[in-house]
Structure 1
């Protein structure tokens, strides 16, 4: 069995994908397969991928289906004992596979976190932050194995990014882990499902992944992709409710669900504010008709509760702005 399957999805990544692929091919651990999904790219991405002559590269060339479907399609054919994900504009540390594989296999984890480091494409600055440094895990979590119960009060303070972990492939398949398809921010519901199904987790306090910040980064440009903060939050609620996790986590879950679209509405480009408001309003009016409505009223803090009610009470975006500024 191959030790590690790396899954990379690519849509119009001609500027960056060469470096990303090269960072895999020079890994100190050579027993891997690199599954690249060209997700309907319209630039030279496919041509660049095709220039690499390495039997460990498996190419899926498909019409554009979005990142969730692309990752699901790759996971179906992955033959590695473990799976790692690499975005086509990022790259691995040369020992990323070896270090993460050794940790995960030695401790028999369902998945293992490792640190990421940021790279600014304009300034060429490399910099750290608390989020990707896993600073929510203190020294007691190092060189040990823990479960979700050990971090119950802080699960919504963790990095949800799929690329910051190595996963046991059999574990993912046994729990039926799938990314939501047709939306962005698919990492988030996937992460919480995997996290709360897991029993054995560990961390590696080493920077094994370089995360490139550039003008087209999904988290850098608050554009129409952020409309999907609403369906991603709906999917998250569904996962918690259907798996019996809702009551245990509802206080933090509801705040988390509100905050994603709330911050997106604040920061999104002006021409997307009304469409996002309308999506949020539709979601909240549907919640109002469910048994969970009073939970929102009873568990949200004053700022988030006001946002929730101002959306419901307003007849349009302009009235919402007036209400929410009061």
Structure 2
């Protein structure tokens, strides 16, 4: 009989929080699962902590550092569960997360079901619209829907892979993979799998706790944010290759511009020039495509000015002077 759920847990130097993450899976009310822990080249005591657990449901992959996306891909190849859930090494599941998620997705035969996340910081829990799925109004509750019904707010849906339960057969059929070697790997993966799905549902229950701390990827705008550029390029390719571009181009282009734009404004000073050059190279390549006019015609004034000022300038300092000048 097939295992109900494969939980995929990649970890890199996670000795501080990995024990709680693993325990949150082992203590689930649903016991029929496998937990695939990928030690992605940790140099601390992570592997020792992982190996201290004596439970036949735990499968350990010990690999050289390949990044979170490839760690998840490698685990998915080994997964045998009917469904797949993802867990980050500094977070944890609520005690009935697997049972509730499995009951929803199995009962409704969905490709993907999305649940709520609650945030945890310094001993306190908090909620926000993004993780609470507040963009889904009441008409989406207690039913199965097609993802294209979400066109008006597609780019306002949380992209976190950890907020979803996936049918593994569905993931295999569409050859779903996370991008290799970059951060923000959830973003292209989400849009590809979500728009490939035919049956989706939401679960208005907090099943997952996301720990916020200074080491979290999205909490400090450092060199990781250089990857907002390649992540956006991969996303654009996905929409073009799957013929979704025309239906979503207005919001898609704005979304693609906004990631690197916010990153450039907030990234540490020592990375600004490097990020600027990555953005400029991307925008220069767009100029030679049929999509260039769409950027000029569909972007709002702020994002269009950012796009054109990058193209007009030669370095970050000259861009900054241009961008601070009113058009």
Measured against the shorter chain, the TM-score band is over 0.9
Q: Residue in 2 aligned with 1:119?
A: 120
Q: Deviation digits for residues 130-151 of structure 1, max 9, x if unmatched?
A: 0000000111111100012211
Q: Deviation digits for residues 73-116 of structure 1, max 9, x if unmatched?
A: 00011000000000000000000000000000000000000000
Aligned mates of 1:274, 1:163 — CA distance in 2: 33
**Structure-to-structure mapping, 1:134-145, within 5 angstroms:** 134-145=133-144
Q: Residue in 2 aligned with 1:70?
A: 71
Deviation at 1:125, TM superposition (A): 1.1
Aligned mates of 2:68, 2:235 — CA distance in 1: 17
Deviation at 1:231, TM superposition (A): 0.1
Q: Residue in 1 aligned with 2:23?
A: 22
Unaligned runs of 5+ in 1: none
The two structures, once aligned, show a CA RMSD in angstroms of 0.5
Aligned mates of 1:55, 1:148 — CA distance in 2: 37
Q: Residue in 1 aligned with 2:312?
A: 313
Q: Residue in 1 aligned with 2:322?
A: 323
Alignment partner of 1:107 is 2:111:
no
More displaced, 141-150 or 23-32? 141-150
**Structure-to-structure mapping, 1:42-57, within 5 angstroms:** 42-57=43-58
Aligned mates of 2:156, 2:36 — CA distance in 1: 30
Q: Residue in 2 aligned with 1:258?
A: 257
Deviation at 1:10, TM superposition (A): 0.2
Q: TM-score w.r.t. structure 1 length?
A: 0.99
Q: TM-score w.r.t. structure 2 length?
A: 0.99
**Structure-to-structure mapping, 1:219-234, within 5 angstroms:** 219-234=218-233
Q: Residue in 2 aligned with 1:208?
A: 207
Q: Deviation digits for residues 50-92 of structure 1, max 9, x if unmatched?
A: 1000000000000000011100000011000000000000000
Any runs of at least 4 consecutive aligned residues in structure 1 with deviations exceeding 2 A, and if so which? none
Aligned mates of 2:153, 2:212 — CA distance in 1: 26
Aligned mates of 1:137, 1:26 — CA distance in 2: 31
Number of aligned pairs?
Answer: 324
Aligned mates of 2:136, 2:315 — CA distance in 1: 43
Deviation at 1:40, TM superposition (A): 0.1
Aligned mates of 1:270, 1:142 — CA distance in 2: 45
Aligned mates of 2:27, 2:150 — CA distance in 1: 35
Deviation at 1:301, TM superposition (A): 0.3
Q: Deviation digits for residues 254-303 of structure 1, max 9, x if unmatched?
A: 00000000000011111111110010000000101111111100100000
Q: Deviation digits for residues 147-171 of structure 1, max 9, x if unmatched?
A: 1221111100100000000000000
Q: Deviation digits for residues 197-230 of structure 1, max 9, x if unmatched?
A: 0010000000000000011000101100000000
Q: Deviation digits for residues 27-51 of structure 1, max 9, x if unmatched?
A: 0000000000000001000000010
**SS of the residue 2:117 aligns to:** strand
Unaligned runs of 5+ in 2: none
Q: Residue in 1 aligned with 2:84?
A: 83
Aligned mates of 1:215, 1:50 — CA distance in 2: 27
Q: Residue in 1 aligned with 2:282?
A: 283
